[in-house]
Amino acid sequence: MLQISKRFRVVVQLLLCIYCTFSHAKQKITIASGNFAPYFSEQGISGEGYFDLVLLKVLSEHGYKKLDLIPLNNDAIKRYFVSKTADIAINYTALPPVNSYPSKYRVKFLNRVILPAQHWTKKVESLHDLNNLTIGSFIGASDLFGNEYRKLTQLESVKYIEIGNQQALNKQLHKNKIDVRVGDYLVFYWHTAHLTALDPNDYIYLDLLDYQGSFILFHDKDLRDKFDQGLKLLIRSGELKAITTNWLQQYKLPILIEQPLFSLEKPHQKEK
């Protein structure tokens, strides 16, 4: 009887494993993601977005094959996740909603203060030096870069705009309609180098922002834990570094980047 009982337990465990694998393979995961190259898929642009590439790789290696990636701007990412239209949100720039499960990793763009390399811009050493200028950034930026930046955007002496389309925002600086473009270095570099006749080296990129990264959020804790474990393995094995290098080469971007594009953070809310 004892031997039969042990065999029965083994069979049950095997069946459970098969069921879990089958369930993951059948389960559809909807992902609210960014919509600007080179970090995300963008309409009319060939090439794989970096964060999309990593997220899909980690989930597919856990058996999730039906993955629906929806490119969205920052406002739409929030709406899709809060309404539970999406199971996962990547590049969530607001504070995580209650009962969501943030990854312990954040996406960490190379956000910089970008200005044309002119005589007056070489004197800019702090955010305070941007007073009396016209500043443009992406939607949600005023809540992402700390109190000093938020106060700057609210000054009457500063004209501040936020634009949902990254390419349109870059064009504002290219055409001198704004004095300062606040946002990611690689997005601006790639767009300037490959979609215009301008030289990205004719601009300066200042690291003046209090930036902690944006969230990767999940509605399901188990799915979040699987993603965190999978990304941890990619980092430890060196595979993520290889993926990053290949991606930079694909888009003909500067290879030497000291700042990792994922940062390890502690969750900001208590989990139940």
What confidence category does residue 186 fall into, taking pLDDT thresholds of 50, 70 and 90?
Answer: very high
Tokens of 96: 């995580």
pLDDT band (50, 70, 90) for residue 143: confident
Are 142 and 184 in a shared domain? yes
- Mark whether 119 and 93 lie in a shared domain: no
Nearest CA to 82 among 93, 68, 66, 67? Answer: 93
Same domain, 117 and 233: no
36 and 87 share one domain: yes
Rounded Cα distance between 41 and 129, Å, is 35
Sorting pLDDT into bands at 50, 70 and 90, what band is 4?
Answer: low
- Whether residue 177 sits in one domain with residue 238: no
Q: Which of 170, 191, 206 is the last residue of a domain?
A: 206
Helices (H), 160-220: 166-174, 185-195
The pLDDT of residue 24 = 47
Q: Do 46 and 89 reside in the same domain of the chain?
A: yes
Name the pTM for this structure: 0.81
Mean pLDDT of the chain: 88
pLDDT, tens only, 109-118: 999 999 999 9
Biggest CA pair distance of the chain: 88
Amino acid (1-letter code) at residue 80: Y
Q: In the prediction, which pLDDT does 7 show?
A: 62
Domain of 155, CATH number, reads: 3.40.190.10
Asked if 34 and 159 sit in the same domain, the reply is: no
Enclosing domain of residue 137: 111-206
137, pLDDT greater than 60: yes
* Residue 18: band (very low, low, confident or very high) from pLDDT cuts 50, 70, 90: low
pLDDT at 21: 54
